[in-house]
Amino acid sequence: MSSLASAQKERWDVRKGNRLYNKGEYQQAEINYRKALGKDSLSVKARYNLANVLYRNQNAAAAEQEVSRLLSDSTGVSITDNDAANIFHNKGNYSLSQKKWSEAVESYKNSLRINPSDMETKSNLAYAQKMLQNEQDKNQNNDQNKDQNKDQDKDQNKDDNKDQNQDQNKEQNNDQKQNQNQPPKITPQAAQQMLQAIQNKENETQDKVKKEKAKLYERQQREKNW
């Protein structure tokens, strides 16, 4: 088969894949994009669209690998600046869906270095940066809590012997004061108010989580089309 005929077959497979993609038939679209790559492994459109359909088929990791091949100098693929900006944008989306915040931030930045006026990429970058900051803050708090617990364990070991000696001396005094030092009883009304406050806090936390998930889902669905 001549190179011209092979190129025509590749384009035909890509177009068929696009029609299936637009109809939501992602698995069949994937088959056609792979057929196109079998005829021309350097086809930017076929690999780009294959990445998108893999993403739609809930395989963001594989989609990320495909666009990484497009961006690699070693593959010999030639892409325009506009293509590169879109590829970096989609790569950021694939990382975002895997909660790889740092990688998503870097991809969106690379896209904006090529096309700094893209508002959608700017919005996604801001979101990824926010999620990355939240993750870093959480990790920092966990580290601080671990350090604090270690310090408390050391202090506890030092105080054990001292407390043991003091306990015997306090027992008699505690027995005498037991009736005087009992904590006040919580009324049923106060207990109900405490439970309601806890429930309100839990509802507030769940609402926040749902909103964050909704934002993430919305961003995941907006890949750049060819």
pLDDT in tens, 116-159: 999 999 999 999 999 999 999 998 887 777 767 776 766 666 66
Out of 38-47, 58-67, 80-89, 162-171, which region has the weakest mean confidence (pLDDT)? 162-171
Q: Flag whether pLDDT at 63 surpasses 90.
A: yes
pTM of the model as a whole: 0.67
| CA 167/CA 174 separation, integer angstroms | 10
Which domains can be identified in the chain, with CATH numbers?
A: 3-130 (1.25.40.10)
Instruction: Tell me what pLDDT residue 34 has.
Output: 97
